[in-house]
Amino acid sequence: MKKPIEVSASILAADFGNLARDIKRCEDAGVTRFHIDCMDGHFVPNLTVGPVIVEAVRKRTQLLLSAHLMIEHPGEYIESYAKAGADSIQIQAECYGERLRTCHQWNQWPKQISQVDIPALRADLKKIRGLGKKAFVVFNPCTALCEEILKDCDGVLIMSVNPGFSGQQFMPEVLPKLERLKAIFSGDIAIDGGINAQTAPLAVKAGANILITASYLFGAGNLFEVTKSLKSL
């Protein structure tokens, strides 16, 4: 059965000085989830927020809250994010396995691996589930799907930009990953990066059921109309 299309508001493009107001605006517009981009300045070339903000957002909404961890050693922080109130914890496959030579230094991006270290990734996904949270694995545009891990995931997040910033351009070359997931995976399939009126239909057609959006949603004059049109895809 086809899952309903969900809109997940990435607060990266919200006004952090008026976060409670923007959360309410999103809720009134009909978004179904919130997405919090947690960046450490090492896994990605940007620094954002941590569990403190997840906790603050948790106090303001009953909607599902996802913590997208773009950080090194995510396993060390799973408990903190769970305690802060995230409903789903999303960990990057590129944190598990040997890094390619092109990104051995802390300040070389995007992070890439030669092969996913399945036991290590599985252990952290189990940790997430053990805390009663939904476990998502995230794949960067240049990382191939690792199908062996799918049975350990509640959802998969396909990055359609190199992680680090909102407002980047959608990379259509990731669409075949969505198509493959649609054929073999029954959990949630989320897409993150460059979602807008032109790219969202492509993502949904290829198999995504959760559309994560920051700049398109918050940049819209009418959040309600944007949310409605995305949900109707």
Binding site for ligand DX5 (CB under 6 A): 10, 12-13, 35, 37, 68, 161, 163-168, 192-195, 212-216
Residue whose CB is less far from ligand DX5, 10 or 143: 10
What lies within 8 Å, CB to CB, of 17 at 6+ separation is none
Least distance (Å) between residue 85 CB and Zn ion: 17
CA distance 172 to 170: 6
Residue whose CB is less far from ligand DX5, 7 or 145: 7
Residue whose CB is less far from Zn ion, 46 or 108: 46
| Residue 80 interacts with, from ligand DX5, Zn ion, none (CB under 5-8 Å by kind) | none
* 44, 109 contact by CB (below 8 A): yes
Residue whose CB is less far from ligand DX5, 155 or 164: 164
- Supply the residues annotated as catalytic: 37, 192
| Residue 112 interacts with, from ligand DX5, Zn ion, none (CB under 5-8 Å by kind) | none
Least distance (Å) between residue 156 CB and Zn ion: 13
Identify the residue whose tokens are 């409670």: 20
Q: Does residue 170 sit in helix, strand or coil?
A: coil
Least distance (Å) between residue 1 CB and ligand DX5: 27
| Residue 228 vs residues 6, 42, 59, 127, 223: alpha-carbon distances, Å | 10, 36, 25, 35, 8
Q: Which of 157, 210, 177, 229 is nearest to 7 (CA)?
A: 210
| Residue 166 interacts with, from Zn ion, ligand DX5, none (CB under 5-8 Å by kind) | ligand DX5
Please, where are the H alpha helices in 185-231? 199-206, 215-219, 223-231
| Residue 25 interacts with, from ligand DX5, Zn ion, none (CB under 5-8 Å by kind) | none
